Amino acid sequence: MSKRVMNAALALAVVASSISVSPASAQLEASQIQKRKEVIHACLLQIYIDKKQRPQALAEYAIMVGLKPDDPKLRYAYGRYVAASQTPGDIAAGITQVKKAVQLDPSNATYNGVLGALYLKAKNPNEALKWLRTAVQYGGQEYKKSYEETFKYIRRQLKPGLLRDEEARQDEVKKQQAAQAGAEWRRWCQEVVKR
C-alpha cells in the first residue's frame, strides 16, 4: 500500500474509533456528525482514487456532493474526475458538475475555463467560446489561446455566402459613410465660399 493510502486509512480508523456508541456520543450535535461523515467519505474517496477504483470513487463523490452540495471546489473536482473518461455521457456529467461550480463561484477563471474546455470536448464550440471568454475576462490568461482558436474555428465554419454578404454589407456602410462625409465637405466648402 502506498504511504498516502496508509495515511488515509489511519485517519479513517481514528475518526471511526472516535464514533462510539456511548451516551455522550449519542448527544453529539448534528454539525459534528456531519463533519465526521465528511471526513470519513473524503478519506474513502482518496483511497479509491489512489487505488484507481473509479466506480467506488464516483460513488463517494456523489455522497460527498450530497453532504456538501454548495461546495464549488468539490463540484469542480467531481466534474473533472467524471469527465476524465472522455466518453460523451461522462463529459456531459462533468459539464453539469463544473457548471454548478461556476454558479457557486462565477468569477473563478479556472472553473469557467475548464467548463469551456469540456464544451470543446463535447463538440460544442459556440458554448465553449462563451465560457472561455469569461475565463479570460476573469484573468485566466492560460485560456486565451483556446479562446482565440475557438473563435477562429467558429468564424471559419460560417457559410462562405454569409461571410461574403456580411463583408458586402460592411463595404456598403463604408461607402455610404464616405459619400456622406464628402457631401458634408462640399457643403462646408460652399458655405465658406459664400462668406
* Domain shared by 95 and 133, yes or no: yes
- Report yes or no on 94 lying in a domain: yes
pLDDT of residue 95 exceeding 90, the answer is yes
* Domain shared by 61 and 124, yes or no: no
Cα 82 to the chain's mean position, in Å? 13
Stretch 91-96: mean pLDDT: 96
Which carries the bigger pLDDT value, residue 178 or residue 23?
Answer: 178
> d(Cα 111, Cα 90) in Å, to the nearest integer?
17
* Domain shared by 26 and 62, yes or no: yes
pLDDT attached to residue 62: 95
Expressed as residue numbers, the domain containing 48 is: 1-69
Stretch 96-117: mean pLDDT: 97
* Domain shared by 151 and 185, yes or no: no
pLDDT digits (tens, 9 = 90+) for 117-141: 999 999 999 899 999 999 999 998 9
* Domain shared by 43 and 106, yes or no: no
147 contacts 116 by C-beta, under 8 angstroms: yes
For residues 179, 185, 187, 189, the Cα torsion angle rounded to the nearest 10 degrees is: -150
pLDDT of residue 191 exceeding 60, the answer is yes
First to last CA, the chain: 98
- Report yes or no on 108 lying in a domain: yes
pLDDT attached to residue 13: 55
> d(Cα 182, Cα 184) in Å, to the nearest integer?
5
pLDDT-derived band at 154 (thresholds 50, 70, 90) equals confident
* Domain shared by 146 and 175, yes or no: no
- Report yes or no on 181 lying in a domain: yes
61 contacts 67 by C-beta, under 8 angstroms: no
Cβ-count burial 122-149 (b if 16+ within 10 Å, e if not):
beebeebbbbbbbbbebebeebeebbee
| Mean pLDDT rounded to a whole number for the chain | 84
In the three-class reduction of DSSP (H, G, I as helix; E, B as strand; rest coil), residue 49 is classed as helix
pTM assigned to the model: 0.67
pLDDT of residue 75 exceeding 60, the answer is yes
Stretch 85-113: mean pLDDT: 96
- Report yes or no on 88 lying in a domain: yes
pLDDT attached to residue 6: 60
- Report yes or no on 77 lying in a domain: no
- Report yes or no on 38 lying in a domain: yes
- Total structural domains in the chain? 3
Q: Which residue, 17, 37, 69, sits at the end of a domain?
A: 69
> d(Cα 9, Cα 29) in Å, to the nearest integer?
25
* Domain shared by 59 and 100, yes or no: no
pLDDT of residue 60 exceeding 90, the answer is yes
